[in-house]
Amino acid sequence: MRSLLHPPEPILSSSPLSHLFVAVRFSSSVTSLRCRSQPPVMASSAASAARLSELDGSLKRKEEKLWGGRFEESVTDAVERFTESISFDKQLYKHDIMGSKAHAAMLAHQGLITAMDRDRILSGLDEIERRIDAGKFVWRMDREDVHMNIEAALTDLIGEPAKKLHTARSRNDQVVTDLRLWCREAIDRIIARIGHLQVALVKLAMKNEGLIVPGYTHLQRAQPVLLQHLLLAYVEQLERDIGRLNNCKDRMNFCPLGACALAGTGLPIDRFMTSNTLGFTAPMRNSIDAVSDRDFVLEFLSANSIIAMHLSRLGEEWVLWASEEFGFLTPSDSVSTGSSIMPQKKNPDPMELVRGKSSRVIGSLVTLLVLCKGLPQAYNRDLQEDKEPLFDSVKTILGMLEVSAEFALNITLNHAKIAKALPAGYLDATTLADYLVKKGVPFRTSHDIVGRSVALCVSRNCQLSGLALDDLRGIDPVFEEDVYEYLGVENSINKFSSYGSTGSDCVAEQLHHWISKLRIS
């Protein structure tokens, strides 16, 4: 079955109307319905375009609102400017048209509109979508939003049948259906970008096999770790981000269409048919819940915020490592910028901006939380404000992921500088404590013995490996000649053996897992 997400060009069939809706049930797509039906008699594409162009030329004329039957006055220009949403919600046009096609097919299947009306609606929506894609559709502010722009343009184009499209539907269930469809696709785009970053990090790890770097806690030297282990930590975090997005997608994939304003309808619609046609799991059970809650957007923005936090931490680490004080990595010129006044500067600006833009993504979540916290059931116009934070969050996180992957593929780790920095900080102290535990010394006693050994090194300005065996035995006689197999960062790395640790064999297993999972050659 072809999906509505990628509708083909309209097929003009000569099949008789008697074939209409044969064997069509919940799994029917709008496209397949159209292929079985007689096409409407319409003006040529050029004539239709001319007619729309002529109508678009009268933008300054205020037309009667589609909801304006009981109103005697037009809204003021200030109110119109303040309440319009077309300036940002027009990007939902493909999803709005998709939902309208599914709705029209269902109305015809249920006998609420004729097959001919359905076909004229579908062809008219195709024409409008082509005009929007070609940049030839003029969005009118006096038509308020994406839904009214498309419906009014459809009425201009095909006349009376377009007025039947809104049967058993409200803008309340229409907009939240559009939004769920949009979020579903946005999640897929973000997951793909996360995958690209994971691949970039794994490739960076593969290029730097065996490189030992200082591991930090409290931003203080702690223990030696393999760089591969550190990079794979970010890969693991990003994998959980993918899991959160997929879980969010599963929960949002229920169809509000047909909930109408809040209470449903008395007309004999088939919500299971539209839900199935649009690729949803099922219709939403409660019509009030369907139109009033935006928890699916909140969950999406929460998942984005966690991704942004992870990327910000990566950015912070790499900005530090690129400084003269660390000098652990050098970004290539292609991912660096300079100073307008200091000619020697080479700044890792992309990752600084990743760190900075995380605040926008987190701010979008906070905006929507505050927006929703005081709203009574059911729909309230406040919810018009959900889209800009959502759109900005998705745009920002996609950019952050893209540039992080680009940066990862264009940096060089400074092995010599890192090796020179490794002796500082007594990174092998915990491994020495493990040595004593293996000798039967209680860990707390071992901790104290190693602490006194470090204090002796500090007084002599040397490393633990620089202490003579007699010096160590002077602290505790438990020390033997084999102690030197545990001292130094290389020996220390080789002693790690627990599952998930930074030991060479453990990290090799982790790396193999990700190379296989991400299908990296």
Alpha helices in 410-481 (DSSP H): 415-421, 429-438, 443-460, 469-475
Exposure string of 314-350, with b = 16+ CB inside 10 Å and e = fewer, is bbebbbbbbeeebebbbbeeebbeeeeeeeeeeebbb
Q: Tell me which amino acid residue 296 is.
A: F
- Cβ distance 97 to 150 under 8 Å? yes
Q: How many CA atoms lie within 13 A of 185 on its CB side?
A: 16
State how far the Cα of 297 lies from the Cα of 288, in Å rounded to an integer. Answer: 17
- Is the bond leading into 433 cis (omega within 30 degrees of zero)? no
Local structure of 218: helix, strand or coil: coil
Q: 14, 218, 459, 516: which is the annotated catalytic residue?
A: 218
Residue 29 corresponds to which tokens in the numbers above?
A: 């797509």
- Nearest alpha carbon to residue 155 among 120, 111, 129: 120
- Cβ distance 80 to 379 under 8 Å? no
The Cβ of residue 205 has, within 10 Å, a number of other Cβ atoms equal to 25
State how far the Cα of 402 lies from the Cα of 197, in Å rounded to an integer. Answer: 7
- Nearest alpha carbon to residue 437 among 495, 353, 385, 383: 495
Question: In the block, which residue shows the tokens 């304003």?
Answer: 261
| 316-325, long-range: CB < 8 A, 24+ apart | 316/351, 316/355, 318/348, 318/351, 318/407, 318/411, 319/348, 319/351, 319/352, 319/355, 322/348, 322/351
- Nearest alpha carbon to residue 317 among 414, 195, 231, 412: 231
- Cβ distance 497 to 507 under 8 Å? no
Q: 45, 339, 359, 497: which is the annotated catalytic residue?
A: 339
Distances (CA, A) of 319 to 336, 346, 390, 411: 11, 11, 28, 12
* Beta-strand relationship, 220-226 and 212-217: antiparallel
Strands (E), 106-234: 212-217, 220-226
Nearest-10 crossing angle of helices 227-252, 295-321: 170
Question: Is 339 annotated as catalytic?
Answer: yes
The alpha carbon dihedral of 166, 169, 175, 180 has a sign of: negative
- Active centre residues (catalytic): 218, 339
